[in-house]
């Protein structure tokens, strides 16, 4: 069982379910030739897909096209169901920056056929996570720069204030469906600028000056 790595929090917090949102930034929905929805769209990733800072994303033999998606991650600290928006942030333990790595070719086939995204999103190494920070150090999570560079060149640059749904609304909405448990992680969706990653690339992701993540990409041999 994998636990989070915190910058300065020594208690062990196991990584639970990873709940991901799709289409939470208008410009990303546009670049994917799709539309935003009134309620968030959810899918799940397995905790076994997690790697950490200085890890390696492995391109699986089943895919010819992996994409990067940089996202704000919200770690749940206090379990709850039917959480109101007013109380939502009380359930947060901390934040991190994450990459929601996606086998875009596999996802395209799934989308065309109306199939779920589990394969496209669920491979080992497809969820790189930075070291986490406690929420007390992040007074304005809805106003953080989200940045992704590949080999030093900026590919995604946005601010969490551009999200269509607030963090409070996302927590409340998810908790009306499934109990949010301590250690669960919400990946809040990616802004525009997604694109392909290739063998040998080095990815640098950051969330303002709060946290950062560096990983590289290798093909499975
Ligand atoms: Mg995503």
Q: Each residue of 33-78: pLDDT tens digit?
A: 887 888 899 999 999 999 999 999 999 999 999 999 999 999 999 9
Cα–ligand 1 centroid distance for 82 (angstroms)? 24
Please tell me the distance from the alpha carbon of residue 28 to that of residue 35, in angstroms, as a whole number.
9
> Where is 72: in which H helix or E strand?
strand 70-76
Report helix, strand or coil for 122.
Answer: helix
The sign one gets for the Cα dihedral 20, 23, 28, 31 is positive
**Euclidean distance between CA atoms 60 and 119, whole angstroms:** 11
Q: Calculate how far, in angstroms, residue 50's C-alpha sits from the geometric centre of ligand 1.
A: 14
Contact (CB, 8 A) for 75 and 93: yes
Query: Is residue 104, in this structure, part of any structural domain at all?
Result: yes
What six digits make up the tokens of 55? 């890890």
Give the pLDDT score at 28: 82
* Ligand 1 midpoint to CA 52 (Å): 17
Q: Residue 3 domain-assigned? A: no
Does residue 139 fall inside a structural domain? yes
CA 220 to centroid of ligand 1, rounded, Å? 23
How many folded domains does the chain comprise?
1
What is the structure's pLDDT at 37? 83
> What would the mean pLDDT of 191-211 be, rounded to a whole number?
97
Do the domain assignments include residue 9? no
Q: Distance between CA 22 and CA 7 in Å, rounded?
A: 28
How far is ligand 1, taken at its centre, from the CA of residue 214, in Å?
Answer: 18
The answer as to whether 67 is a domain residue is: yes
If you average pLDDT over residues 15-23, what whole number do you get?
96
In a domain, 12, yes or no: no
| CATH number of the CATH domain containing 60 | 3.90.850.10
- Ligand 1 centroid vs 139 CA: distance in angstroms? 24
CB distance 193 to 157 below 8 Å = yes
Predicted model pTM: 0.96
| pLDDT attached to residue 23 | 87
Q: How confident is the model at residue 86 (pLDDT cuts 50, 70, 90)?
A: very high
User: How many angstroms from the chain centroid is the CA of residue 31?
Assistant: 18
User: How many angstroms is it from 129 CA to the middle of ligand 1?
Assistant: 13
Backbone angles phi, psi at 133, to 5 degrees: -125, 145
- Predicted confidence at residue 49, as pLDDT, reads 98
Task: Report the percent of the chain where pLDDT is more than 90.
Answer: 90
Residue 10 inside a domain? The answer is: no
Residue 176 is assigned to a structural domain of this protein = yes
Q: Give the residue numbers spanning the domain of 30.
A: 18-219
Measured distance CA(45)–CA(77) in Å, rounded: 19
């Amino acid at each position: 069982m994998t636990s989070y790595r915190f910058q300065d929090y020594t208690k062990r917090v196991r990584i639970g379910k990873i709940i991901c949102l799709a289409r939470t930034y208008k410009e990303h929905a546009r670049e994917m030739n799709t539309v935003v929805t009134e309620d968030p769209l959810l899918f799940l990733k397995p905790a076994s897909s997690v790697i950490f800072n200085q890890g390696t994303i492995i391109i699986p033999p089943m895919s010819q096209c992996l994409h990067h998606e940089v996202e704000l991650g919200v770690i749940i600290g206090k379990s709850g169901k039917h959480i109101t928006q007013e109380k939502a942030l009380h359930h947060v333990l901390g934040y991190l920056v994450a990459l929601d790595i996606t086998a875009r070719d596999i996802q395209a086939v799934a989308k065309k056929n109306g199939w779920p995204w589990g394969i496209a999103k669920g491979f080992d190494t497809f969820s790189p996570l930075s070291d986490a920070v406690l929420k007390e150090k992040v007074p304005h999570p809805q106003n953080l720069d989200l940045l992704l560079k590949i080999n030093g060149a900026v590919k995604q640059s946005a601010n969490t204030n551009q999200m269509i749904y607030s963090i409070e609304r996302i927590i409340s909405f998810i908790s009306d469906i499934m109990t949010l448990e301590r250690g669960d992680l919400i990946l809040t969706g990616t802004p525009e600028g997604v694109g392909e990653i290739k063998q040998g690339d080095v990815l640098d992701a950051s969330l303002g000056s709060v946290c950062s993540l560096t990983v590289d990409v290798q093909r499975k041999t």
